[in-house]
Structures are given as structure tokens and as C-alpha cells.
Amino acid sequence: MKPLYNIATKIAEKALPLAGRFNEKLKLFTEGRKSVFSELEEKINPNKEYLWFHAASLGEFEQALPIIEEIKKEFPKCKILVTFFSPSGYENKKNHPLADVITYLPLDTRKNAKRFLELVKPKIAFFIKYEIWPNFMAEIKKQNIKSLLISGAFRENQIYFKPYGGFMRKALQTFDHIFVQNEASIALLKNIGFNNTTLSGDTRFDRVSRQIQYDNKLEFAENFIDKKTCLVAGSTWPEDEEIIVPFINQTSEKLKVIIAPHEIKEEKINALEQKIKKKAIRYSQRESRDLESYDVLILDTIGLLGKIYSYANIAYVGGAAGTTGLHNILEPATFGIPVIIGENYKKFPEAARLRQLAGLYSVANAEEFSSITNKLITDKHFRDKTGMIAGHFINSNTGATRSVMNYLKTLPDFI
């Protein structure tokens, strides 16, 4: 299987630039990688030691961030390199102040892996959740670089546990230590002979729990909400909008709604506006407007959703109405508010757990959404109880970052 993987990677390396002519995301994917090695030669200080964090995209970066923050706090002179696989991660975080160097990860060929590691010479390589690349892992092992997998979450149907998954299993087994989110992951790894594990939980809980400590004040949001009940629909896709917009249009409750679409392209925002019958305004149009006179506020910008959730009485989190993947339910839950999602959440254990605890509700259609939302609006005791469960769920699952830091401090030459 490994030879086939290498052939497929080589083909992708040649084909992606052509595909990029027809797809903006693929164009960013290929164009961004053209300058990786020259950037590393320019930005990496050969006299310094780097800790390398690799994340697939934004979600994985959020899992890495609490560890990076703690390292920078306790060891401020430490140098941090962050690499991304996807354009959405890199484009959004390429100027993040906590990293000394941020770039794309080159495609996983043996040549790229060797050149990358010879340039960076990382002291420790941190991979987040699912990001495991066979050629990079083989070269990391060859160069005796310590490697850790953070917030790992494994399922029985993954390739590592299949008869034909030997080459990926070998890559997985090169890690010095794996920090996992649940007991099931430990059992699966034990079945393939890997025992260097720690049940740490998910660092995202640490990340979102800190949001309460920050200044979340947004004057425009306060003006818009005007002390009324507020529903925040975050990271929505068209499939989510089909569920929530009918309720928005029909409700007679004095309700304020803030919608933060996952994609803020002009055509997407226009399409959403056409569906909404209530008085709506975009964030970009807010200046010199009487915001309290509007019913719906559309966030046609990025970077505000974490703070916006602090104003919500009820949250709907997008992605699970379709097949794009559920977005972060922990962000609203940390503020102690009820969470509603679509029905396709089976690959997201935190959603399943919170649903079992009755801090989250899953809906299959607009009728089910209207039913649970009406109950949450009209029954304050029910709403408060559901939100309290959500908040407690976050607080009782923090500590993954400290677990990783404690391990790092046992290493004789960590810093």
C-alpha cells in the first residue's frame, strides 16, 4: 500500500496546479506551497530550537492553541512553528501573534519531508487529532525527533485498524506518545500494540473555557439585542438555514436573531437575505443604523462568533444539517446556554455526550427546530437548566492542556 500511496501523492503533486485553475481553494492550496521552503530558509533561525505544531485546519489549530499559549507563558523564549494543511486554516491564522513562523505543510513526499525537517530541525513535533502523514512520520523517526499526537480520537473503522492499513499503522506507531480524548481510543491503540498513551481529554475544552475570562463586550450586539431574547445561529450552511429560517419568519415572539454564515461570499449572503422575511441587516451595514429596530443581524465578517455567543440565550450550531461536518458546539456551551444542532453528528463524540446529558438537542427538520426553540424561549426554567448542563459539561472536561504540559516537563531536555 505504501508504494501506491507514494504514487498517488506524486500524481496529486502534478495534478493539483492544473485543478487550481478551476477552483479557488485548490489554487490557494498549490500556490501557497510554492514558497514554503524559501520562507523557511528566510524565517527559521538555525541557532534556535523550534517546537513544531501541525494542524489540518482551523479546528485543529484551536486544539493546539492552549498548549502553545501555555508554552509561551512558561517558556517565553521558546520558538514556535505552525504548519497548516488547508488554505482555510492558513489564510485565517497566517499572522497569529503566538507563532514565530506560520506556513503550509508541503505535500507528503519523502523528498519534501527530508528537506523540511533538515531546514527546521524541530525539537518536538506536535500533530493534532488526525493529521498523520506516513513519509513525514518516517523521516521524523529517522532523524530521532520526538513526536506527539495531541487530542487524538480514534474509531474502529479507521484505516489504522484494518487488515490493509499496515503502512498507516506503522506511521501511527512512530509517535513517542499519544494523548487521546477517550477510553475507546486507548483500547483501539492497545489492540495494535501501542501503549504509550494518556487519557487527557480534548484541549478544545481548555480553549473555549478561557473565552469567559476575556472581554466579550460588543457594543453593536448590545444595541441590536436591546435586552430581548437572542438566538445565535453560528457557522450555518444552506441546509441549516432551511431549518432555522422558517421559524424566524413565522415566530411571534420578541426574538432577536444573529446569523453567522460559514461562508460569507456575496452570493451566499444574498441568498440568505432573500429567504428572510423579517427586518434584517448585515454587520457591514450597521454604521449609522438604528440596530434595535431590526429583527435579524447577519454577520458578514469573521472573528466575532466567539464573543457573539456570550450574548445568546439559545445557540444553533451549523454543519450537522448536511454532510459538511458539525462546527464547534463547545464555543456556545461554555457560556452556559442550550445548544441545538442538525441530525448528522455521529462522528462528533462531544455532541453525542452533551445530548445524552440533555444540554444539547438535535433536530431533523424545521418543525423539530421550531418545537424545541419555542420551548426554550417560553420556558425559562427549562432553558436555564439546559444551559447549566452545557456549562457544567465544559467545566468538567478541562485539563487536557495541563496533562500535556506535565508530560513535557518530564522530558530531561524539553527547553
Of residues 393 and 14, the one with the higher pLDDT is 393
Range of the domain at 142: 1-201+399-410
Residues 192 and 229 in one domain: no
pLDDT at position 20 over 70: no
Whether residue 208 lies inside any domain: the answer is no
Q: What is the mean pLDDT of residues 339-365?
A: 96
pLDDT at position 26 over 80: no
Residue 359 confidence (pLDDT) = 98
Residue 6 confidence (pLDDT) = 75
Residues 46 and 192 in one domain: yes
Nearest Cα residue to 140 out of 121, 153, 157, 154: 121
Residues 158 and 287 in one domain: no
2: confidence class by pLDDT, cuts 50, 70, 90: confident
| Cα 130 to Cα 202: distance, rounded to the nearest angstrom | 13
Helices (H), 304-395: 305-308, 330-333, 349-356, 366-378, 380-395
Residues 371 and 248 in one domain: yes
Residues 28 and 175 in one domain: yes
| Cα 70 to Cα 405: distance, rounded to the nearest angstrom | 8
| Cα 117 to Cα 108: distance, rounded to the nearest angstrom | 12
Residues 156 and 17 in one domain: yes
pLDDT at position 230 over 90: yes
For residue 165, what are the β-bridge partners?
A: none
Whether residue 365 lies inside any domain: the answer is yes
pLDDT at position 329 over 90: yes
Residue 179 confidence (pLDDT) = 97
Q: What is the mean pLDDT of residues 201-207?
A: 95
Residues 186 and 243 in one domain: no
pLDDT at position 176 over 80: yes
Residues 370 and 404 in one domain: no
Residues 257 and 370 in one domain: yes
State the total domains in the chain. Answer: 2
| Cα 400 to Cα 385: distance, rounded to the nearest angstrom | 26
Whether residue 131 lies inside any domain: the answer is yes
Residue 19 confidence (pLDDT) = 65
pLDDT at position 304 over 80: yes
- Within 10-168, strands assigned E span 50-55, 79-84, 101-104, 124-128, 146-152
Catalytic residues: 60
Residues 20 and 123 in one domain: yes
Nearest Cα residue to 203 out of 296, 68, 355: 68
Q: What is the mean pLDDT of residues 283-304?
A: 95
Residue 25 confidence (pLDDT) = 77
- DSSP of 192-248, one letter per residue? TT---EEE---HHHHHHHGGGGS----HHHHHHHTTSEEEEEEEE-HHHHHHHHHHH
330: confidence class by pLDDT, cuts 50, 70, 90: very high
Residues 194 and 223 in one domain: no
Whether residue 415 lies inside any domain: the answer is no
Whether residue 277 lies inside any domain: the answer is yes
Of residues 187 and 167, the one with the higher pLDDT is 187
Residue 115: give its domain's CATH number: 3.40.50.11720
Residues 134/2, Cβ–Cβ less than 8 Å: yes
Residue 223: give its domain's CATH number: 3.40.50.2000
Residue 347 confidence (pLDDT) = 85
Residues 115 and 180 in one domain: yes
Residue 32 confidence (pLDDT) = 79
Whether residue 207 lies inside any domain: the answer is no
| Cα 78 to Cα 389: distance, rounded to the nearest angstrom | 38
Mean pLDDT, all residues of the chain = 93
158: confidence class by pLDDT, cuts 50, 70, 90: very high
Query: What sign results for the dihedral spanned by CA atoms 179, 182, 183, 187?
Result: negative
What's the distance, Cα to Cα, between the start and end of the chain in Å? 38
Whether residue 135 lies inside any domain: the answer is yes
Q: What is the mean pLDDT of residues 33-52?
A: 93
